[in-house]
Structure 1
Amino acid sequence: MGIDLHRIVSYTLAPRRGIKPIINEAHTVKTLILLYTKGPLGRQALSKILGVGESSVRTLIRRLKELGLVDVSKAGGAYLTNTGEAIVKRLLEKIVPPKVIDISDLNYLKLSRKAAKRLL
Protein backbone atom coordinates (compact mmCIF):
# COMPACT_ATOMS: atom_id res chain seq x y z
CA MET A 1 0.00 0.00 0.00
CA GLY A 2 1.45 3.31 -1.10
CA ILE A 3 -0.31 5.49 1.46
CA ASP A 4 0.79 5.72 5.08
CA LEU A 5 -0.57 7.33 8.23
CA HIS A 6 1.97 10.16 8.18
CA ARG A 7 0.92 11.17 4.66
CA ILE A 8 -2.76 10.96 5.60
CA VAL A 9 -2.35 13.16 8.68
CA SER A 10 -0.11 15.66 6.87
CA TYR A 11 -2.61 15.96 4.04
CA THR A 12 -5.65 16.42 6.29
CA LEU A 13 -3.93 19.07 8.44
CA ALA A 14 -2.25 21.08 5.69
CA PRO A 15 -3.39 24.71 5.51
CA ARG A 16 -5.07 25.73 2.28
CA ARG A 17 -5.48 29.33 1.21
CA GLY A 18 -3.65 30.28 4.40
CA ILE A 19 -6.27 28.80 6.71
CA LYS A 20 -5.03 26.08 9.06
CA PRO A 21 -7.71 23.57 10.07
CA ILE A 22 -8.67 23.45 13.76
CA ILE A 23 -8.43 19.67 13.71
CA ASN A 24 -5.29 17.86 14.85
CA GLU A 25 -3.60 14.48 14.36
CA ALA A 26 -5.81 12.79 16.94
CA HIS A 27 -8.98 13.93 15.15
CA THR A 28 -7.80 12.34 11.91
CA VAL A 29 -6.88 9.01 13.48
CA LYS A 30 -9.97 8.93 15.70
CA THR A 31 -12.23 9.63 12.71
CA LEU A 32 -10.75 6.73 10.77
CA ILE A 33 -11.08 4.37 13.75
CA LEU A 34 -14.65 5.53 14.49
CA LEU A 35 -15.73 4.93 10.90
CA TYR A 36 -14.11 1.50 11.04
CA THR A 37 -15.67 0.44 14.36
CA LYS A 38 -19.07 2.17 14.22
CA GLY A 39 -19.74 2.25 10.50
CA PRO A 40 -21.16 5.25 8.64
CA LEU A 41 -21.48 8.44 10.69
CA GLY A 42 -22.91 11.83 9.80
CA ARG A 43 -21.13 15.17 10.25
CA GLN A 44 -23.22 16.05 13.28
CA ALA A 45 -22.40 12.79 15.09
CA LEU A 46 -18.69 13.06 14.26
CA SER A 47 -18.68 16.69 15.34
CA LYS A 48 -20.13 15.78 18.73
CA ILE A 49 -17.77 12.82 19.29
CA LEU A 50 -14.65 14.73 18.20
CA GLY A 51 -15.59 17.96 19.97
CA VAL A 52 -15.07 20.16 16.90
CA GLY A 53 -17.43 22.11 14.67
CA GLU A 54 -19.28 20.61 11.72
CA SER A 55 -17.26 22.74 9.30
CA SER A 56 -14.04 21.17 10.62
CA VAL A 57 -15.55 17.71 10.22
CA ARG A 58 -16.64 18.61 6.68
CA THR A 59 -13.07 19.65 5.85
CA LEU A 60 -11.62 16.48 7.40
CA ILE A 61 -14.07 14.20 5.58
CA ARG A 62 -13.50 16.02 2.27
CA ARG A 63 -9.74 15.59 2.57
CA LEU A 64 -10.04 11.92 3.54
CA LYS A 65 -12.31 11.51 0.53
CA GLU A 66 -9.70 13.18 -1.72
CA LEU A 67 -7.23 10.51 -0.52
CA GLY A 68 -9.72 7.78 -1.41
CA LEU A 69 -10.14 6.62 2.20
CA VAL A 70 -13.69 7.79 2.81
CA ASP A 71 -16.83 8.12 0.77
CA VAL A 72 -20.08 9.85 1.68
CA SER A 73 -23.66 8.68 1.38
CA LYS A 74 -26.40 11.30 1.68
CA ALA A 75 -28.50 8.90 3.73
CA GLY A 76 -25.86 7.28 5.95
CA GLY A 77 -23.00 9.74 6.23
CA ALA A 78 -19.27 9.11 5.87
CA TYR A 79 -17.91 5.57 5.62
CA LEU A 80 -14.55 3.97 4.87
CA THR A 81 -13.67 2.74 1.41
CA ASN A 82 -11.88 -0.60 0.99
CA THR A 83 -8.57 1.29 0.97
CA GLY A 84 -9.55 3.13 4.15
CA GLU A 85 -10.51 -0.12 5.87
CA ALA A 86 -7.20 -1.73 4.92
CA ILE A 87 -5.24 1.20 6.35
CA VAL A 88 -7.19 1.20 9.63
CA LYS A 89 -6.76 -2.58 9.98
CA ARG A 90 -3.01 -2.12 9.56
CA LEU A 91 -3.03 0.72 12.08
CA LEU A 92 -4.99 -1.26 14.68
CA GLU A 93 -2.51 -4.14 14.40
CA LYS A 94 0.22 -1.76 15.59
CA ILE A 95 -1.67 -0.17 18.48
CA VAL A 96 -1.08 -1.80 21.85
CA PRO A 97 -4.29 -1.99 23.89
CA PRO A 98 -4.21 -0.42 27.37
CA LYS A 99 -3.36 -2.72 30.26
CA VAL A 100 -3.70 -2.49 34.03
CA ILE A 101 -0.32 -2.17 35.74
CA ASP A 102 0.17 -3.38 39.30
CA ILE A 103 2.45 -0.98 41.19
CA SER A 104 1.76 -2.28 44.69
CA ASP A 105 5.41 -3.40 45.03
CA LEU A 106 6.50 0.19 44.51
CA ASN A 107 4.48 1.32 47.54
CA TYR A 108 6.90 -0.59 49.76
CA LEU A 109 9.82 1.28 48.24
CA LYS A 110 8.14 4.60 48.92
CA LEU A 111 7.47 3.66 52.54
CA SER A 112 11.05 2.47 52.94
CA ARG A 113 12.43 5.82 51.74
CA LYS A 114 10.27 7.69 54.23
CA ALA A 115 11.40 5.37 57.01
CA ALA A 116 15.04 5.82 56.00
CA LYS A 117 14.73 9.62 56.12
CA ARG A 118 13.32 9.45 59.64
CA LEU A 119 16.27 7.37 60.75
CA LEU A 120 18.78 9.99 59.53
Structure 2
Amino acid sequence: MQPQTLQIATWLLYINGFFAFANFVDSRMELGYIRRFFTFGPVYGLAVIAAHVLGGLLMANERKIGYNIAVVASFTPFVSNLIVYRSLIGVSFLSAIFDIALIALLLHTQSRSHQKVWFR
Protein backbone atom coordinates (compact mmCIF):
# COMPACT_ATOMS: atom_id res chain seq x y z
CA MET A 1 0.00 0.00 0.00
CA GLN A 2 1.30 3.42 -0.97
CA PRO A 3 1.62 6.36 1.40
CA GLN A 4 -1.08 9.00 1.40
CA THR A 5 1.10 11.47 -0.49
CA LEU A 6 1.43 9.13 -3.48
CA GLN A 7 -2.25 8.17 -3.42
CA ILE A 8 -3.36 11.79 -3.56
CA ALA A 9 -0.76 12.54 -6.25
CA THR A 10 -2.10 9.65 -8.34
CA TRP A 11 -5.64 11.01 -8.14
CA LEU A 12 -4.46 14.51 -9.00
CA LEU A 13 -2.63 13.12 -12.03
CA TYR A 14 -5.81 11.43 -13.27
CA ILE A 15 -7.87 14.59 -12.69
CA ASN A 16 -5.23 16.78 -14.36
CA GLY A 17 -5.15 14.36 -17.30
CA PHE A 18 -8.91 14.77 -17.77
CA PHE A 19 -8.69 18.55 -17.59
CA ALA A 20 -5.66 18.55 -19.90
CA PHE A 21 -7.79 16.70 -22.47
CA ALA A 22 -10.60 19.25 -22.08
CA ASN A 23 -7.98 22.00 -22.32
CA PHE A 24 -6.57 20.42 -25.50
CA VAL A 25 -9.98 20.29 -27.20
CA ASP A 26 -10.93 23.89 -26.34
CA SER A 27 -8.84 26.32 -28.40
CA ARG A 28 -9.40 29.12 -25.88
CA MET A 29 -7.39 27.31 -23.19
CA GLU A 30 -3.60 26.91 -22.96
CA LEU A 31 -3.16 23.51 -24.62
CA GLY A 32 -5.77 24.35 -27.24
CA TYR A 33 -3.97 27.60 -28.02
CA ILE A 34 -0.66 25.77 -28.36
CA ARG A 35 -2.35 23.11 -30.52
CA ARG A 36 -3.81 25.75 -32.79
CA PHE A 37 -0.95 28.22 -33.23
CA PHE A 38 2.26 26.19 -32.94
CA THR A 39 3.48 23.45 -35.29
CA PHE A 40 4.53 21.25 -32.36
CA GLY A 41 1.21 21.93 -30.61
CA PRO A 42 -0.72 18.71 -31.29
CA VAL A 43 2.24 16.52 -30.35
CA TYR A 44 2.92 18.56 -27.21
CA GLY A 45 -0.74 18.48 -26.14
CA LEU A 46 -1.08 14.73 -26.61
CA ALA A 47 2.23 14.17 -24.81
CA VAL A 48 0.99 16.21 -21.83
CA ILE A 49 -2.25 14.20 -21.66
CA ALA A 50 -0.39 10.90 -22.02
CA ALA A 51 2.17 11.89 -19.37
CA HIS A 52 -0.53 12.61 -16.80
CA VAL A 53 -2.50 9.43 -17.49
CA LEU A 54 0.50 7.10 -17.87
CA GLY A 55 2.27 8.63 -14.88
CA GLY A 56 -0.75 7.99 -12.68
CA LEU A 57 -1.39 4.51 -14.06
CA LEU A 58 2.19 3.29 -13.82
CA MET A 59 2.67 4.90 -10.42
CA ALA A 60 -0.46 3.12 -9.16
CA ASN A 61 1.15 -0.13 -10.34
CA GLU A 62 4.37 0.75 -8.47
CA ARG A 63 6.67 1.33 -11.44
CA LYS A 64 9.65 3.67 -11.14
CA ILE A 65 9.17 4.87 -14.70
CA GLY A 66 5.65 5.94 -13.72
CA TYR A 67 7.00 8.05 -10.88
CA ASN A 68 9.50 9.71 -13.22
CA ILE A 69 6.81 10.38 -15.84
CA ALA A 70 4.56 11.80 -13.12
CA VAL A 71 7.26 14.22 -11.97
CA VAL A 72 7.76 15.42 -15.55
CA ALA A 73 3.99 15.69 -16.06
CA SER A 74 3.61 17.77 -12.91
CA PHE A 75 5.81 20.51 -14.41
CA THR A 76 4.04 20.65 -17.80
CA PRO A 77 1.38 23.20 -16.74
CA PHE A 78 4.15 25.67 -15.95
CA VAL A 79 5.78 25.05 -19.34
CA SER A 80 2.42 25.61 -21.05
CA ASN A 81 1.89 28.83 -19.11
CA LEU A 82 5.36 30.04 -20.08
CA ILE A 83 4.64 29.37 -23.75
CA VAL A 84 1.23 31.04 -23.78
CA TYR A 85 1.37 33.78 -21.11
CA ARG A 86 5.12 34.27 -20.58
CA SER A 87 4.41 33.69 -16.89
CA LEU A 88 4.70 30.67 -14.61
CA ILE A 89 1.33 31.15 -12.92
CA GLY A 90 -0.87 31.91 -15.93
CA VAL A 91 -4.34 33.34 -15.35
CA SER A 92 -5.73 30.94 -12.73
CA PHE A 93 -4.25 31.21 -9.27
CA LEU A 94 -6.33 28.27 -8.02
CA SER A 95 -5.03 26.04 -10.80
CA ALA A 96 -1.47 27.05 -9.93
CA ILE A 97 -2.08 26.06 -6.30
CA PHE A 98 -3.12 22.54 -7.36
CA ASP A 99 -0.14 22.28 -9.73
CA ILE A 100 2.23 23.25 -6.93
CA ALA A 101 0.49 20.80 -4.57
CA LEU A 102 1.02 17.96 -7.07
CA ILE A 103 4.72 18.76 -7.30
CA ALA A 104 4.97 18.95 -3.50
CA LEU A 105 3.22 15.59 -3.10
CA LEU A 106 5.47 13.87 -5.62
CA LEU A 107 8.71 15.35 -4.30
CA HIS A 108 7.81 14.88 -0.64
CA THR A 109 10.40 12.87 1.30
CA GLN A 110 7.87 10.17 2.14
CA SER A 111 6.97 9.73 -1.55
CA ARG A 112 10.57 9.66 -2.70
CA SER A 113 11.68 7.17 -0.06
CA HIS A 114 8.70 4.89 -0.76
CA GLN A 115 9.33 4.82 -4.50
CA LYS A 116 13.05 4.16 -3.99
CA VAL A 117 12.35 1.13 -1.80
CA TRP A 118 9.14 -0.38 -3.16
CA PHE A 119 8.80 0.59 -6.83
CA ARG A 120 10.15 -1.83 -9.44
TM-score, normalised with respect to structure 1? 0.32
Higher strand share: 1
TM-score, normalised with respect to structure 2? 0.32
Higher helix share: 2
